[in-house]
A and B are shown apart, each in its own frame.
Chain A
Amino acid sequence: MNVAGVAGSAGVLYLYARTFFDRAAALRAVAYFVLAGNVLGLLMDPWLVDGPAYFISILSFYLVRCDRLGWATVTLCFGAATHESLLIVLATLLFVHLATSSWRFEPRLIPFVGLPLLVYALIHNTSLVYGSTLTYEFWKSEYRDAILEARRHLDGDLVKATFLAFATSFGGVWILAALAIRGAPRFVAQARSCCRLSPWGSSRPPTGTAY
């Protein structure tokens, strides 16, 4: 399931990148994804990779990019039930959608935010979804100290741990991303038309009239 999730993520990532850029750039995106350390971790231990969480995350981005907030709500509800980090995705998508829509509020944003949060609250406070509730409290200082101590023990110190975390996640791709922030395309602009890919398959659609 992890392998299938990662493979599906690569496919959706290609489609997602194609809504912004041409085919070569989309293939570069897939290449960077495959070369990410955590994805390559599949060679060693499938449990290192959260394939379904990757898949739901990129699918949510793609659906919001295509202005399909209803379907994105469904995927994010599944995501909230799969992995807590999907709440970070939810917050990011909400922010980027509002920011690129000139902070215009839409009623459909209410279920988009509320339903995944409801799923998350049900999981953490009731036994309806998984049959039990979480036993640890991640906001407690003891838990936080234990995390930092674990990183110090494994990597030597926190600076080294941070560097290795960046290297393992994407490595040099972080540098490229920092270089490319300036002039990056807007997220929601021309969203409805961008998802209808041209059969020409490049960033230059045919200019001739259909016959």
Chain B
Amino acid sequence: MLPALAVGFLTASDWDRILTVAFPIVIVLACRVRLYWPFLVAFLVVQAVLSGLAIDRLTGYYREDLSHPNTSLTLALLVVALILVLLGALTAYVRAETDCLLDIERTGVTTTGRVSHRRVAAKTRRSLTNRAVGRFRCGQRHTPPADSAPRWTGNRRGVVVAVLYGPLPQHRQGGELPRSR
């Protein structure tokens, strides 16, 4: 895309707008880089200041003054950066909780983390029960007992699921498991 954009430099005077056309490629490439929090905060702040200065330059075209500070606009950019940081922190928290629950499911150790996020817990419960059912069914070696709880005493993961989240729904306990596709 860059050669085409370079040609665009010769056909239009607003070069920043020409470069912004590349955002479906540039931004999606950039988001591959996983920024850890200190770096992400620093990056967002610097990016906000940089964008503020760039907009300040654009504003200068309108006022015919290229040296005014435009402090309020820069502060607005910093507030936007702060909101994005908080949003990203919340996302990272949800992801950490999910990873923690999956670690519990994989290792059987329940003391490695805390379960506090209800939504993540519900979603993870669905996933874990799906996994337990799928693995058990794929194995086809154990016959689920009909009257004991937890039902899957021979399946360690099933025990972990039952201990963490209570007994499984009735149609998934004992007897004939529904066939998958």
A21 → B minimal CB distance (Å): 6
B residues near A92, Cβ cutoff 8 Å: 1, 4, 25
B16 to chain A, nearest CB (A): 4
Bound together, the chains give a CA A165 to CA B1 distance in angstroms of 16
Q: Is the CB of A29 within 8 A of B27?
A: yes
Partner among A57, A151, A180, A202 whose Cβ is within 8 Å of the Cβ of B33: A180
Bound-state CA distance A191–B105 (Å) is: 31
The 8 Å CB contact of A41, one of B13, B18, B55, B95, is B55
Contact of A54 (CB < 8 Å), options: B23, B95, B177, B180: B23
Q: Return the contact of B34 from the options A25, A89, A144, A206 (Cβ within 8 A).
A: A25
**Per-position binary interface string of chain B over residues 150-181, scored 1 when its CB falls under 8 Å from any chain A CB and 0 otherwise:** 00000000000000000000001000011011
For the complex, count residues of B whose C-beta is within 8 A of A: 74
Shortest Cβ distance from A157 into chain B, in angstroms? 13
Asked if B58 is at the interface (CB within 8 A of a chain A CB), the reply is: yes
Q: Which residues of B contact A209 (CB under 8 A)?
A: 130, 133-134, 137-138, 180
**Are the C-beta atoms of A200 and B127 separated by less than 8 Å?**
yes
Cross-chain contact A211 with B130 (CB below 8 angstroms): yes
Question: Is A208 a contact of B30 with CB atoms below 8 Å?
Answer: no
Q: A103 within 8 Å of B by Cβ?
A: no
In the assembled complex, the Cα of A200 lies from the Cα of B102 at a distance in Å of 13
Contact check, A13 vs B24: say whether CB atoms are below 8 A apart. Answer: yes
- The interface size of chain A toward B, counting residues with CB under 8 Å, comes to 77
**B146 interface residue per 8 A CB criterion:** no
Chain A residues closer than 8 Å to B77, beta-carbon distance: 35, 40
Top 9 A-B residue pairs of the complex, sorted by shortest distance between their CB atoms? A208-B130, A176-B30, A208-B134, A168-B54, A165-B15, A169-B19, A209-B134, A168-B16, A208-B131
Can you add 8 more A-B contacts, CB < 8 Å, to A40-B77, A44-B73, A168-B54? A29-B28, A31-B87, A32-B30, A35-B77, A36-B23, A43-B73, A168-B58, A173-B30
Can you list 12 A-B contacts with CB-CB less than 8 angstroms, sorted by A residue number? A13-B24, A31-B44, A36-B23, A37-B51, A39-B20, A88-B8, A167-B53, A171-B54, A173-B47, A174-B26, A202-B98, A211-B172
